[in-house]
Amino acid sequence: MIRRDGRPADPNPGRQAWSQAPEPGAVSRGPNPTQQYSRHEDSRYAPTQAPQPYTEQPRRNEPRRDEPLRRQPAPPPERALRRPEPTKPPRTRKKRHWGRRFGLTFLALLLVVGGLVFYVDSSLTRVDALSSYDGRIADTPGTNWLLVGSDSRAGLTPDQEAALATGGETGPSRTDTIIVIHIPSGGGATTMVSLPRDSYVSVPGNGQDKLNASFAIGGPPLLVQTVEGATGLKMDHYAEIGFGGFAGIVDALGGVDVCVQNAISDPLAGIDLPAGCQELEGSQALGFVRSRATALADLDRMNNQRQFMSALLSKATSPSTFLNPFRLWPLVKDTASSLSVDEGDHIWNLASLAWAMRGDLVTTTVPVAGFEDTEVGNVLLWDSDRASQFFGALAEDRQIPEELRTAGP
């Protein structure tokens, strides 16, 4: 058969040339544009084309066939599942309740101090010293204390009496020391007035007698009544101490420093003190405030008593004492067990007295006129006019005029 282009048709159109037959597995491709046809070739055959090898596109993550297989790394072994630890709650900072701690500490301290105060206050011996009586003077301004040093030997053993040179029991108790303390209500210096024990005064119910005789006759109540009648001052507080208590307080303080103007040798008081400043222990201090073996006898003794009282209170209220519990506690305990006070007095009243006497202190004695022999023995007479002005100033809560004061230590 002849085709339209003039070339004979293929007698076997369903058959393809061997060069064009695809290889098994090959992908059929279109005609190769680079392939050229020759007009001189037999048009009975299809144009020749170069066979292309089949290459399969590698899949993702798979090696190509023409590449050697690579050994894939083995997956890491699975770890054993650990039991999850329980989650801790977030740590919160504790609030410090300083106010509560301070309050509890203060409360505990208050209870301890309160217990000690109650114990010390209950150790005081109480007497009915400020009992009312007919014709008692009205209250006077300021605060007045009556301090008494008695010759009581209560509680002392024979050896202690010998060490303190008390001289043994001498009958009814007497007093060697009588001091009036006036604390002004408006502030100012406290005044310490010594009343000579041999002062010739009126003893209620017993006529004229020595001042200390009232204590021997009627005890503290009659002494208070006699002092109030002689001075015109109403007493608000009363405190009394005996021989043993006085020496114990001095020893609890570790001794007291005083300056002795003139040497004192008094076998009856058990002392032999050289002149000059020195520290006195309990027994020496007791002899110092009791002795009359000096030129002015009772007047010198009153000066020595006021001097020693000032030195004693100065040391008792010093920081070296009240900041040292090993010294403060024995002092407070011995003082409380040695003192006799009025039924209405307490340890805090004594503390206020010591505090009032820690600073400026006016020390003096009542103006005197001289000595005189009477039916009750040798007595000391007051200067009535000057003594009236003297105690009148205190009754009005004023300082005693300078010209009425007797020079003190």
Q: Where are the alpha helices (DSSP H) in 124-259?
A: 158-164, 211-231, 243-252
Q: What is the mean pLDDT of the chain?
A: 79
Region 386-407: mean pLDDT is 90
* Amino acid 16: pLDDT: 46
pLDDT above 80 (res 86):
no
pLDDT above 50 (res 110):
yes
Domain boundary assignment for the chain: 127-404
Q: Residue-wise over 326-363: b if at least 16 C-beta within 10 A, else e? A: ebbebbbbbbbebbbbbeebbbebbeebeebbeeebbb
Per-residue pLDDT band at 245 (split at 50, 70, 90): confident
- Give the end-to-end CA distance of the chain in Å, rounded to a whole number: 172
Region 243-247: mean pLDDT is 79
pLDDT above 80 (res 69):
no
**Which one of 3.30.110.30, 3.40.50.300, 3.40.630.190, 3.40.50.1100 gives the CATH number of domain 127-404?**
3.40.630.190
- The 10s digit of each residue's pLDDT in 223-233 is 999 999 999 99
Cα separation of 235 and 145, whole Å?
Answer: 6
Region 71-87: mean pLDDT is 66
Cα separation of 106 and 103, whole Å?
Answer: 5
Rg (CA), the chain: 60
| 355 vs 227, residue with greater confidence | 227
Q: Residue-wise over 375-405: b if at least 16 C-beta within 10 A, else e? A: eeeebbbbeeebbeebbebbbebbebeeebb
Region 31-56: mean pLDDT is 56
Q: Which of 54-68, 242-256, 339-353 has the lowest mean pLDDT?
A: 54-68
